[in-house]
Structure 1
Amino acid sequence: MKLINKSMLSAVITLSTASVYYAQQVQDTVQTKSNDIEQVVITGVADIAKDRKTPVAVSTIKEAKIVEKLGNQEFPEILNTTPSVYATKGGGGFGDASIRIRGFGNENIAVMVNGMPVNDMENGAVYWSNWAGMSEVTSAMQVQRGLGSSKLAISSVGGTINILTRAADKKRQGTVSLGLGNDGYLKTSFAYNTGKSAKGWSTSFLMSRTAGAMYIDGSDFEGYNYYFALGYQPNEKHDFQFTFTGAPQWHNQNFTNPISTYLQYGKDGEPNRRYNSNWGTLNGEQFTTNRNYYSKPVASINWDWKISEKSKLSTVGYASFGRGGGTGVLGSINGKTIFNLPKTADGQIRFDDIVRWNQGAVISDFTVGNTSNAPANTFPAGPGINRSNNGITMRSNVNSHDWYGLLSNFNHKINNEFNFSVGIDARYYYGYHPGIITNLLGANGYQERGDFNRPAGFIVNEAYNPVPSANPFVKAIKDKNQIANRNYDGQVLWYGAFGQVEYTKENFTAFIQGAVSNQGFKRIDNWIVDGVTVQNGETVYRKTDFKNILGYNVKGGANYNINANHNVFVNVGYQSKQPFFTAVYPSNKQPLNPNLTNEKIVGLELGYGFRSQAFRANVNLFRTSWADRFQRRTGLNIDPDNNPATNNSITNAYAEISGITQVHYGAELEASYSLNRLLDLEGMFSWGDYRYKGNASGTVFDDNNNPVVVQNGNNTATLALDKAKVGDAPQLTASLGATLKPVKGLRINADWRFVGNLYSNITVTDFMINMNTGELPPAAINGTLKLPDYNLLDVGANYTFDFGSRESLTIGANIYNLLDTTYISEGRSSIYADGTQPTYKGIDVRNQVYFGFGRTWSANITFRF
């Protein structure tokens, strides 16, 4: 399910893939002082940390806090007041959020829904648009920082996010909700739970629609969410739950831009934070170069069997059928990409003029500065036929998949002190990655020459509408002769075993875990001519063999409760982690990576906890080292000469960087205090030092896998990363929140958050060593570019009218970034001011960044019955 940028699907996907049962219903969980999950009894494969017992650093967000504060924010943003967590909106499209824990990104954070792993099997990514509506059915969300407590051999380098959803046997209740927000945001939902019948049957149902636009321009979206669960408990020994859920959605996206571009379209020297370089109008309607569209129906069935008082077996089988992709651009006009062509006065793409040009008209300013060898007015050369370097065509890279999995866990209590668990984890994934045309922009067809089986090329003239299908088995393309730009498949086969032994006696708990897994990768390129096609100097075949890679991890830890108030813990772990699909077959080609090796992670953590009736606090110290890392960086804007005036930047490029070593260490504090029945306080502080160790090498390609020359005709460079700060995650954060309850039913809250020591992510062109002279670039000398610190303030209030019995009406509202602070949330380059370009807050305006949203708001009304 590898999709373009970070996006992809929207809506609520709830999976009852582990048995989640309630010892009692959560009644006002926001007012609960505890940070653990006492209200939820977990059996099965979900590994939930227990307070003062499981020796890991953990924070828990309860259901009521999510409902109260999330509003129209992205789902992972609810975790921003958690130590060492940084969640942003990415480019600002619906569901395009990204999250980092202790400096490690989405693909190296294990996301589990009721114990089932959901990270993409090809690249480890988590597309939060898949889970944008999860807030409606989440009972609790637990973040385990570091290696975590999961018994599976998963990629929890930064941490593990466990999302616990409602079970089918939740108490009988219905809800109707309406939500409003800035820029036309509208959300409607209906949910109903029947409760458990006398014969053990129960059902839960939810349906919702979310549509509108985000804060940025040109960001329209629409998503639907559906969820159905059926539970059956015939007796005390057996419990069955079946779920089926899906989330079809589409949303328009955005890329980073130079600060100079935001200033160009701003006013009074201030940047236009809403600016989006990807859109314009076509025939009077909003149109974009980059739209994500996806539907991912998921079905699961789980069975919990209480064999005896000492033994339990929990098994879950699941299947996922992802269908969709992300649009982009093929071709150019007079050697210029669509983003480098002249735009409207307010910076929009002139799609109507591109249509006219594709149809043979002469657009005068499109011919100025012709960089091709042909005369300026000879484009297009054919009778309305576009080519990869002639005319502009809209395409979609399809990223559909079929995914099947089975998890089984056996737990046995040997005696009052020892218990053990053993289990299996098996998964199979087949990804479909053809390319299709979505809009010919006035042309009669597109000439494709990438299929080596048809060297003369062929004409593609069928355009597909980039919207998700409600049919989970729909094919991406009906006619294989209409495939354009790419045509490959990927297979991933995973099978593993895990085990844990736990010792508990009085105030002391210790555990040791181990897991081993084999991950097999196969790439199928349907445009290869077997035994004839040559890639990277190597003769290749349509199908590679499975490349099987063994990985394992081992973890151990102990917790000691000194008394009723104080506890201490320690944990340590080692992981030999298999690389992702892109590392096995780099550059989207068939040859196997000759330098393929497992990545090695070592984690160490110390912790202290304090508990009293009114005050709770946790302090953690950690160190994580990561060697032999391979990283693919997508969504890059590469400007080879770092000069916007030359207008030769490559938009939405990607870089592959190998040989990375990182060392992260830091300290965390999290605390809460109930001053009295009227006021609750909570806060956090985290400090870290995240650095690269040694140098690495990087290669650059454009969005269509063409090499991008970065130096001396080469697309490969050595990167001087040693001791540079790791970017994309702040290394100093703090927050303070207050909840005031002046009268029954009314809650007023405010959250202040500070983000500091935030650095840009690395880019190949900024850190490459000069091949001829060995000279170091400014970024290697001065370090990764530090972005300005910032403070944000969010406020909200809600009031519940209680009508007795089960009926109530809740009205709430939130304002985010109340002070309308202008801030940079992410940076993608490290260009240091040299006096040739203006600066913004001391930063060279050539730097590629995302600005955070300005002031936004949401309001909602919910009726429960």
Structure 2
Amino acid sequence: MKNLFLFLTLLVLSVSANAQQNQTQQDSTKVEKLDEVLVKAVRVNATSPITHSNVSKKDLEKRNLGQDLPILLNYLPSVVTTSDAGAGVGYTGIRVRGVSAQSTNITINGIPYNDTESLGTFWVDLPDFSSSVENLQLQRGVGTSTNGSGAFGASINILTDAVSNKANGEISNAFGSYNTRKHNIKFSTGLLNNHFELSGRLSQINSDGYIDRATSDLKSYFLQGAYVNNGTLIKALAFGGHEITYQAWNGIDAATLKSNRKFNPSGMYTDESGATRFHEDEVDNYKQDHYQLHWNERYNNNWSTNLGLNYTYGRGYFEQYKEGEDFADYDLEEIIIGGETISETDLIRRRWLDNDFYVLNASANYRNGALDMSFGTSFSSYIGDHFGEIIWARYASNSEIGDTYYNGQGKKKDFSIFTKATYKLNDKVSLYGDLQMRFIDYTTTGLTSDRVNLLVDENYNFFNPKAGVTYELNERNNVYFSYARANREPSRGDFESNPNIKPEQLNDFELGWRHNNDEFRISANAYYMLYNEQLVLTGVIDNTGTPIRTNSGKSYRLGLEVDASVQITKHFAVQPNFTVSTNKNKKTIISRDGALINLGKTSISYSPDFVAANALIFQPKTNFQISFLSKYVGEQFMSNTDSETSKLESYFVNDFNVTYEIKTNSIFKSILLSGLINNVFGEKYVSNGYVYIDSWSTPGASFEVPGYYPQATTNFLIGATLKF
């Protein structure tokens, strides 16, 4: 690895030197606009009646010191993030408006990124991906029609690095608490012969984690080849990652939270001498490779098209040491040793997922005066193999090397077509319309990891209409109203927990006002999200830490979001935002102690009524910025029963961020120094948790017991990026 880094460093230096003699006259603005065509079909513009936030490469760069992308988005409106390992490296999660990551649609260059079966997003599979993001747009609510699974709380569409007009390179290193370190190298040849560019990145991130043994060993790559010629842009991309993370998804109970909040029960077992030990390879080990091809064509001032192809190959396992497992649960036979019948054993198992994902996207855009119209289609095909193997057992019984104790397969085809248009009726009024049809075919065969037959054969046909209007009050103010419907299928896990699970439907109403001038910007948005059979989190997790969901009948989310930026002086700005909301299940019925209980109206799980953030930004020079970042998350319930035992307390954390860029006349173009102190005041807080039902400790009674995922107290990251 060291030799490879040295080789690429020399390559960057030689390319940079050569570029001084081969600078192109290509207009870089045109190249960037061609890049934007990759995501035009799933994005909206500044005056669209869709609630959204845009994040640029420059915004991400300030805090990009090794933490996952969700953590970098923590200060956007209505966003709540969490980290299994406690410090933002490894497994991380994001919720928007209280809606889980399983209901947030993610695309990369217009290609769906959500796991097709679980519907979740696993950013740990793409370590340091933020370093290859040109910009992204987070749409709250249903948003515009997108590719892949529907958006029920938000959609995040990501554009990767744009074609660079000039040769450049970067070497970046960061270090911090919990032995965290990040190293990456980037390069671009710039446009060679005015047409060709090759760029890439290699990254490595390691961390011991805040939680005991919650280590992360993360590697990733990004390689891009591009061809540009007038209105043509062709991009071929290969990117991926390999993550090995020690499991930290079991959380801890309330007593342990008080006595030892960093304790990690994962991998714990008792050896033959009675000593407590921890299995050193209780890890999640997964690789994921993405291959994309994009062809963008601008024919004239009116017409442009985009064709996108994708293949994703994922494979990996998680390993567990299990004590006293019944032979019958692994299809093993009882054995007799010394006259004693043996029916259970300690063992180490691996549960595998091996999957292939193919995507074809095609879209066209027509612009002529008042009309801006896009239409297109997306087709994807997924095959996922699920199987388990025993790699060691104290008593092997009748097992053989290479045996699997369960096998299952999921197949999913997803086809959608859409057309959307914005029509400027006059100088004041713009109309927006968006129609999408989506067709899904999902089948499963074989056994689950619990050796239960899972036979799913479902077809879903969804119609998702959207409409809106924007009224320009004047050049600084506009108001908008939109309505959108979304339908979404259940996940594989939903079918495992309930074979009769239903798809969910959302009717989303948004009413907003935007004001923008040089010193003061504000947007206020009221939303009413009316659900039918919303798949809400129950608070219960499975044995991989994945949340279990259930249909909730009628439910709603009603809220107000305010996002502002105030330039108080030339050097000082304030950027506050807050969301106040009410999130309710209209009627909650649970089964408890053998009886059905109607709890009436209850709060939706993991949906705080108040979320706020603020940034105090002091910039004495253009190359020097100091930011004080604050985040408040109100109390929330981890189940849908309004039980006090399932309540997560509110928390208020503050981060301190400083960046200083040194312009040089030497071999480096500049040196960017960054520092980040997270949780400055050492708040001991919990951002996520779960509940389970205890029906055995008290005969004849059952009750909820909470588990928690503590987050890190004060910690820091510092880094330096050398730019060529």
**TM-score, normalised to structure 1's length?**
0.72
What residue number does 1:69 align with? 63
Q: Is the Cα contact below 8 Å between 2:38 and 2:110 reproduced in 1? A: no
Report the CA distance shift for 1:288/1:846 in structure 2 as closer, same or farther (over 3 A).
Answer: farther
Distance 1:697 1:586 in 2: 19
Partner of 1:473: none
Cα gap change, 1:719 to 1:578, in 2 (>3 Å): farther
The answer to whether the 8 Å contact 2:540/2:548 transfers is: no
Deviation (angstroms), 1:850: 1.9
Quick check: 1:437 aligned with 2:390? yes
Greater shift in the superposed pair: 288-297 or 611-620: 288-297
Deviations 1:213-249 (A, max 9, x none): 111111122111111100012x323221000111011
- Tell me, what secondary structure is at the counterpart of 1:140? strand
1:711 positional shift: 4.6
Q: In the TM superposition, what whole-angstrom CA distance separates every residue of 1:567-605 from its partner, at most 9, and x where no partner exists? A: 10111011233333344x4349xxxx4x45432211000
- Residue 59 of structure 1 pairs with residue 53 of structure 2: yes
CA separation of 1:381/1:694 partners in 2, compared to 1, >3 Å: closer, same or farther? farther
CA distance in 1, matches of 2:174, 2:651: 29
In the alignment, does 2:633 pair up with 1:755? yes
CA distance in structure 2 between the partners assigned to 1:521 and 1:88 by the alignment: 31
> Which of the numbers 446, 460, 468 marks the counterpart of 1:525?
446
The question of whether the paired residues in 2 share the 8 Å contact of 1:72 and 1:181 is answered with no
2:420 maps to a residue whose letter is Q
Aligned position for 1:23: 29
Among 462, 465, 474, the alignment partner of 1:551 is: 462
1:381/1:745 CA distance change after superposition, 3 Å: farther
Cross-structure match for 2:604: 726
| C-alpha contact (below 8 Å) 2:373/2:422 kept by paired residues | yes
The range that moved more, 818-827 or 500-509, is 500-509
- Preserved contact between residue 134 and residue 162 of structure 2 (Cα < 8 Å): no
Residue of structure 2 equivalent to 1:201: 196
What percent identity do the matched residue pairs reach? 20
Q: How many Å separate the matches in 2 of 1:792 and 1:721? A: 34
CA deviation string 1:235-278 (max 9, x = no partner):
32322100011101110122122111233xx2xxxxx2211111
Does residue 599 of structure 1 match 2:504?
Answer: yes
Matched, 1:332 2:194: no
Distance apart, 1:829 and its partner CA:
3.2
Instruction: Quickly say closer, same or farther: Cα 1:619–1:656, change in 2 above 3 A.
Output: closer
Q: Deviations over 1:644-701 (max 9, x none)?
A: xxxxxx9969755345432111001110112223212211111110111223567xxx
Q: Secondary structure at the match of 2:125?
A: helix
1:313 is aligned to 2:294: no
Match 2:619 to one of 737, 741, 758: 741
The alignment partner of 2:94 has SS state of strand
Query: Are 1:829 and 2:687 matched, yes or no?
Result: no
Paired with 2:546 and 2:52, the residues of 1 have a C-alpha distance of 37
Match of 2:517 among 606, 612, 621: 612
- Of the structure 1 ranges 393-402 and 314-323, higher mean CA displacement relative to structure 2 is found in 393-402
How many equivalent pairs are there?
677
**Equivalent residue in structure 2 for 1:564, among 475, 483, 492:** 475
Query: Which consecutive unaligned segments of at least 5 residues does structure 1 have?
Result: 1-20, 27-37, 267-271, 338-378, 448-457, 463-478, 529-533, 638-649, 699-709, 768-778, 837-843
Structure 2 letter corresponding to 1:459: S
Distance 1:791 1:831, change over 3 A: farther
Alpha-carbon distance in structure 2 between the residues aligned to 1:721 and 1:41: 49
Q: Is the 8 A contact 1:658 1:696 kept in 2?
A: no
Query: Quick one: structure 1 residues 566 and 831, their matched pair in 2 at CA, closer, same or farther if it must change by over 3 Å?
Result: farther
**1:661 partnered with 2:661:** no
In 1, the alpha carbon distance for the partners of 2:623 and 2:460 equals 56
For 1:500, the equivalent position in structure 2 comes to 420
| Structure 1 residue 172, shift from structure 2 partner | 1.8
CA distance in 2, matches of 1:743, 1:199: 35
On the 8 A contact 2:552/2:585 being kept in 1, the answer is no
1:393 positional shift: 1.4
Q: How big is the shift at 1:280? A: 5.3
| Kept in 2: contact 1:22–1:41 (CA 8 A) | no
Measured after TM superposition, the shift of residue 501 of structure 1 is 2.5
CA RMSD of aligned residues (A): 3.5
Amino acid at match of 1:273: R
CA shift for structure 1 position 334: 10
- C-alpha contact 1:75 1:131 (8 A) present in aligned 2: no
Q: How does 1:387-406 map to 2 (within 5 A)?
A: 390-406=344-360
Letter in 2 for 1:143: L
- What's the CA shift for 1:132? 3.4
- List aligned pairs for 1:579-590, cutoff 5 A: 579-583=490-494, 585-587=495-497
Letter of the 1:742 partner, please give it.
P
2:254 is the counterpart of 1:250: no
Structure 1 residue 438, shift from structure 2 partner: 4.1
Structure 2 match to 1:50: 45
Question: Does the aligned pair in 2 maintain the 1:153–1:553 contact within 8 Å?
Answer: no
Kept in 2, the 8 Å contact 1:425–1:496? The answer is yes
CA pair 289-711 structure 1, distance change in 2 beyond 3 A: farther
Q: Spell out, residue by residue over 1:314-333, the C-alpha distance to the aligned partner (whole angstroms, 9 max, x if none).
A: 11000000011222354527
> Take 1:751 and 1:66, find their aligned partners in 2: how far apart are those partners?
14
Matches within 5 A, 1:384-533: 390-413=344-367, 415-440=368-393, 443=394, 445=396, 447=397, 458-460=398-400, 462=401, 479=402, 482-484=403-405, 486-504=406-424, 505-525=426-446
* Gap change, CA 1:525 and 1:830, over 3 Å in 2: closer
2:543 pairs with 1:622: no
8 A contact 2:65–2:182 mirrored in 1: no
Aligned residue for 1:297, secondary structure, equals strand
Contact 1:221 1:249 in 2 (8 A): yes
Distance 1:39 1:521 in 2: 35
1:647 maps to what in 2? none
Q: CA offsets, 1:40-87, max 9 Å, x none?
A: 844555422221x21111112222222212434332022222221111
What letter corresponds to residue 426 of structure 1 in structure 2?
Answer: F
Point out the structure with the larger strand share. Answer: 2
- Where in structure 2 are the equivalents of 1:4-153 lying within 5 Å? 23=29, 41-43=36-38, 45-51=40-46, 53-90=47-84, 92=86, 94-152=89-147
Q: Corresponding residue for 1:858?
A: 717
The answer for the alignment partner of 2:169 in structure 1 is: 174
Instruction: Please give the alpha-carbon distance, in whole angstroms, between the structure 2 residues aligned to 1:818 and 1:735.
Output: 15
Partner of 2:579: 686
CA distance in structure 2 between the partners assigned to 1:558 and 1:753 by the alignment: 33
Which stretch of structure 1 is more off in the superposition, 98-107 or 625-634?
625-634
- Of 184, 187, 190 in structure 1, the residue corresponding to residue 185 of structure 2 is 190
Task: Name the structure 1 match of 2:279.
Answer: 287
Identify unmatched segments of 5+ residues in structure 2. 1-26
1:720 to partner: Cα distance: 4.2
- Pair 1:434–1:165, CA change in 2 (3 A): same
Work out the CA distance in 1 between the residues paired with 2:501 and 2:277. 48
- 1:801 and 2:706 are equivalent in the alignment: no
- Per-residue deviation, 1:153: 6.5
Quick one: which amino acid aligns to residue 328 of structure 1? Answer: Q
Amino acid at match of 1:229: Q
2-structure distance, mates of 1:194, 1:502: 38
Secondary structure in 2 matching 1:562: strand
Partner of 1:786: 647
Alpha-carbon shift at residue 122 of structure 1 (Å): 0.9
- Tell me: CA distance 1:24–1:177, structure 2 relative to 1, closer, same or farther (3 Å): farther
Q: Deviations over 1:2-45 (max 9, x none)?
A: xxxxxxxxxxxxxxxxxxx962899xxxxxxxxxxx99844555
State the Cα distance separating 1:126 from its structure 2 match.
0.6
